[in-house]
Structure 1
C-alpha cells in the first residue's frame, strides 16, 4: 500500500510539473513588436561566400564568366552547351 501511495504521488508530481513548463513561448500579436533583426541571413547554413551543392554539402561561390558554368566541385568553369 505504501508503494502505491508513493507511486501515485510521483505520478501526480510529474503531471503537475509538466503543465507548468513552457517549452514554446507565446508569439507576440503585434507584428511591430516582433523584429527580424535577430535573424542572421546565411546561404543555406554555409555562411557568406558559400552555398549548398547538389549533395547537400557546402561549396564555395565561384563566379564563372557568361557562357560558362561551375564544375562538380565549383573549382573549374565549363562551357555551356
Structure 2
C-alpha cells in the first residue's frame, strides 16, 4: 500500500509541474505579424557574412583575388596568373 501511495504522489507531482511550465508561450494575435518580421535575421546561405556555400554544401570563406591573380586549390591563397 505504501508503494501505491508514493507512486500516486509522484505521478500527481509530475502532472502538476507539467501544467505550470510554458515552453513556448503563444503571442497575442494582433502582434503576430509584427513579431515575425523582426525575428528574421538574413544571412548569406546560412553561413553568415563573409562566407558562402561550397560545392558540397559546406560553408567556405569568401576570398577575392585582385585582377591578374587566381585563388589556389583550397581558395585560401591568391596566385599570379602566368
TM-score class normalised by the smaller sequence:
0.5 to 0.7
Distance 2:71 2:19 in 1: 54
The number of aligned residues is 81
Query: Where does the alignment leave 5 or more consecutive residues of structure 2 unmatched?
Result: none
Mean alpha-carbon deviation: is it higher for 46-55 or for 12-21?
A: 46-55
Runs of 4+ off more than 6 Å: 63-72, 75-81
CA 1:61–1:25: 2 relative to 1, 3 Å: same
Mean alpha-carbon deviation: is it higher for 44-53 or for 17-26?
A: 44-53
Distance 1:20 1:48 in 2: 40
Relative to its length, the structure with more helix (as a share) is 2
Mean alpha-carbon deviation: is it higher for 44-53 or for 13-22?
A: 44-53
Instruction: Compute the TM-score of the two structures, normalised by the length of structure 2.
Output: 0.60
Distance 1:26 1:55 in 2: 38
Deviation of the 1:20 alpha carbon: 1.2
Mean alpha-carbon deviation: is it higher for 59-68 or for 23-32?
A: 59-68
Mean alpha-carbon deviation: is it higher for 48-57 or for 36-45?
A: 36-45
CA RMSD of aligned residues (A): 4.3
**Kept after mapping to 2: 8 A contact 1:50/1:58:** yes
Partner of 1:52: 53
**Kept after mapping to 2: 8 A contact 1:59/1:73:** no
Deviation of the 1:9 alpha carbon: 0.4
